[in-house]
Structures are given as C-alpha cells and as structure tokens.
Structure 1
Amino acid sequence: MEETISLKEIFGVIKKRFMLIVAFVLGAALIAAVFSYFIITPQYESRSQFIVNQSQQDPNMAYNINDIRTNVELINTYNAIMESPRILDEVIEELGLDYSAGTLSSKIKVSSEQNSQVVNVTVTDPNPALATQIANTTVKVFQDTIPDIMNVDNVKILSAAEMAENPLAVSPKPLLNIAIALVLGGMIGVGLAFLLEYLDNTIRTEDDVEKELGLPVLGVISTMTTEDLRQGRMPMHQQSRVKRGGFSGAQKKTV
C-alpha cells in the first residue's frame, strides 16, 4: 500500500524534532570551525611564470604559426620534466630541504592555459617564504637544466614569485567550511528526524488508532488523579468532549 505524507505532516515532524536538527547544525558548524582555525595547518601559495619561445637560429627567419604550435606541444613535456626527480633533487639540494622528491612534487603544480606558451608554477607550503623560494628555484633549475635534457634553449622567466607583505593563506577557508558544515548538519538533522519519526510506532492519539488499526474510535476512558478528584475539576479537553456528548476524564485511554 502506497503511503503519502502531506506538507503539514512534514512541518509537524520538523517542529517536533526542531531541537535535534538545531543541535546537528550547530555541532557541525562548531566542528568545522575548530578544524579550520585550530587543527588544519594554513597553506600559503606562491607562483612563478615562464614562457616557452622558439629559438631562432636565423634572425631573418619569419616566425610562423607552426613554431607556436610546436612550443605549445612541448609544454606538456616540460611539465613532466619539471616534476621529475632530475629537477626536484637539485632544488632540494640547493635549498637544503628536508623533503623527498615525491613530497616536493606534491607541493608543486605546473599548469598552462589552453594554447598558451605561458606556464605557471604554483607552490603551496605552510611557510610563505619557503613557498616563494621553491617556486623561483624550481623554475631557475629547470631553465638551466632543460638545454642538457632536450638540447633546446627556449625557456625564459616571465615573472618571478614574490612574497606579499601580509600573505594570506589559501587554505583552509573557515567561512566556506562552516557554511558547508551548516548545510550538511541541517541535512543530517532533518534526515535523522524523519528516520526517528518513521521508526516511532507508538500509538498516542485516536487518529493513530484509526490509521494503524483501521478501526473507528468509539470513545475514550480517562484517568483522573487524586488531586483532580479532590478539587472537583476536569481538564479542558475532557470538558469539550462532555459538551459534545463524549466521555469525561483527565488523561485519555483509547478503546
């Protein structure tokens, strides 16, 4: 049998479990803030650029589109060479780094725009000054080494990496992390609220009896406390039933 849920029931579940949902949202935001500000190490980024030019043996030779296409195709080769141990081992030795070539390679990203002869070398490190040194040294070592590897001399440094006066960390991004955590916390909280509601098969009202058993409710028998009897009072919901010809009492029991 297919069951449907109305919009009213959805809001009812959210209202009933509202504090649970809020707890998940605030908890997720708090965890994200703690990780972003106190646990995750800030990372700084520095970038250097070089340009690949075609060497001209004859200064009177015209520069054509095929030369540019050749240079662009060579960039992919240059990218792989720059991240190879041949280059990185020399960078490690020159800067006296306590890194392996693999660790240093994970800090370096070499990229270029499509059909562009400009290559960007981006280095990420917790130390902004060291990131700048690695970027510049990597490009310089590559420029000095590439003629021996490929017998070409067409790499020119376009712009060296420079450390800003007040460098800003590129990661983590606390506000973004907290915003994501708020959304995820809300989704988990709402999902858990509906799961708990689905698993809750407690019968509390006459409507629950009719819905679960498919039987009509003939009336309710209520239990009155000693204090109610002593004061001779009746709860409001029972008084309304008496006026409609129903049964009286303080606490309802369904029959």
Structure 2
Amino acid sequence: MNEELDRINTEQEEGISLKELFKIVWNNIALIIIVGFWVVVLGIVYTFVIATPKYTANASLQMQVKVEENVGSEQSALYIANTIRGTYNDFAISNTVLASVIEDVPELENTSISNLKSQISISSPQDALIIYIQVESTSPELAQEIANQLIENSIEIANGTREDRENIYLKDRLSLLDEATYPSGPSSPNKVLNIAISVILGGIIALGVVFIKEAFNNKFKSPEELEKHLKIKVLATVPGTIKERKVVE
C-alpha cells in the first residue's frame, strides 16, 4: 500500500515538474525571443559580413593501366591501379611537387608548403581509374590556377621530364582528364546551413539563459510551490505583486 502511494506521489511530482517546465518557458517567452533573435542576427552578420568566402576548383586525372602489360591479368591491372592511386595521393602533396607549384605560381610567392597543402584535397573512388583534385582558396582565379598547375607539375615530375628523377610507379601512368574551370560561386560559407545552425543555437542559448535565471531565483512563485517545498498548507494569499501592493498603500 505504501509503495502504491509513493508511486502515485512520484507520478504527481513528475507531472507538476513538467507543468512547471512549460510555465517557466511561457513566463520567459519574451526573453527567449530576444536572446534567440540576437544570436540569429550575429550568425547572419558572421555569414554575410565577417566570414571570408572561399572558392573550390575541381580537376581530375585519369590513371592509365593496360591489362596486356600485366601478364594479361585484370587482377594485376587492378592491383597496379590501386598502387597508382595510393602513390599519387601522397605524391601530389609531396614537398617536391608543392615547391614546384609555388615556384610557378607568382601569387604563391609568400605561401609555405604546409599552407598550400592544407588547401588541396585528393580523392579517388575504388571502382574507377580517376583521381579527383580539389583546391580551395579565397581567390577563384588562384584556386583554378593552383589546380591546373598541380596536375601539370605532378605529371611532369612523375615522368621525369621536370626533375632528374622519375617515379617508377607513376611514369606514363597519368594523364589529364578535366582541367579546372573557374568556380561559378563560393563553396563556403554555407549560408543556409549557417543560418539554420544560428536558429538552433539561438534557441538553446535562450533556454539556457532562462533556466540559469530560474536556478538562481529562490523566490516562491505560487502557493502550490510554497506548499510543496515547505510542507505547509497555505490558508490565504494577498493578490497582486509587491509593486502593485505598494501603489495601493
């Protein structure tokens, strides 16, 4: 019997807690709207004013693997293709290749190899003999130029026509598939995504401010709350707020 009463009391307390939660939100709806609004405004200002637009240029290479050169075995050809793919991914961003790109692109005169490397992304699907190169820069012209120069120099260095040494895995195995074209628009920041994040973040921050405010508020807001915490019965209440009662007096 006691356990049943405890269960009912617990359910009642949980129901009251949920009710109080919505009441806190409703009573502070103006604060929530104001805080959320300004967080969204800051997000919009950052996206459209502060954040620097970046542009991405895309280019691609084709791996050349002939089955008849590998004892007529398709499996051997696929093995060599995977070797070329993995080798080129590291070769294209090696110090030798990147240094040559910096040397050939005047705008990169004061750019370090590590900085240039951070602007380059290389990928290739497992089931295709194609290598994709992406270059991101604050200048669309520079992104395009870096991508094309990177492909040109990496092929020349791999074939040994630019440097004294050649790469035995890549020599005569790479050819240009698509040159990088002028980026039609910025690839970042993502304006729609940033605004959506600002709205969600604004709501979270606004609710956080409200609950922190309520956590530091030690006043009793209703007779029910007084009875709940002090375990006493409230016989009567004086209507009106403290300010309203002072005006009456």
Please report the TM-score for the alignment, with normalisation by the length of structure 2: 0.81
CA distance in 1, matches of 2:66, 2:204: 59
Indicate the SS of the match to 1:150: coil
Indicate the SS of the match to 2:233: coil
Aligned to 1:47: 58
Residue 132 of structure 1, CA deviation: 0.6
Q: 1:185–1:113: structure 2 CA closer, same or farther, 3 Å change rule?
A: same
CA distance in 2, matches of 1:63, 1:132: 38
- Are residue 153 (structure 1) and residue 172 (structure 2) matched? yes
Q: 1:194–1:171: structure 2 CA closer, same or farther, 3 Å change rule?
A: same
Q: Deviations over 1:45-99 (max 9, x none)?
A: 10110011126886x9746232122112321111101001100110111112221
Which protein is bigger by CA-based radius of gyration? Answer: 1
1:70-219 to structure 2, matched below 5 A, reads: 70-96=80-106, 97-98=108-109, 99-148=111-160, 149-151=166-168, 152-164=171-183, 167-219=184-236
- Are residue 69 (structure 1) and residue 79 (structure 2) matched? yes
* 2:95 counterpart letter in structure 1: P
CA distance in 2, matches of 1:227, 1:55: 95
CA distance in 1, matches of 2:36, 2:245: 41
CA distance in 2, matches of 1:171, 1:178: 13
Indicate the SS of the match to 1:93: helix
Q: 1:62–1:227: structure 2 CA closer, same or farther, 3 Å change rule?
A: closer
- Are residue 12 (structure 1) and residue 29 (structure 2) matched? no
- How many residues are paired up? 226
Which moved further from structure 2: 110-119 or 204-213?
A: 204-213
CA distance in 2, matches of 1:186, 1:103: 37
Residue 112 of structure 1, CA deviation: 0.7
Tell me which of 20, 25, 32 is aligned to 2:36.
25
Residue 220 of structure 1, CA deviation: 4.0
* 1:49 counterpart letter in structure 2: S
From the two aligned structures, give the one with the greater helix fraction.
2
Q: 1:221–1:101: structure 2 CA closer, same or farther, 3 Å change rule?
A: closer
Please report the TM-score for the alignment, with normalisation by the length of structure 1: 0.79
CA distance in 1, matches of 2:246, 2:20: 36
Structure 2 unpaired stretches of 5+: 1-5, 161-165
* 2:189 counterpart letter in structure 1: P
Q: 1:195–1:90: structure 2 CA closer, same or farther, 3 Å change rule?
A: same
The percent of aligned pairs where both chains have the same amino acid is: 27
Q: Determine if contact 2:65/2:77 at 8 Å carries over to the other structure.
A: yes
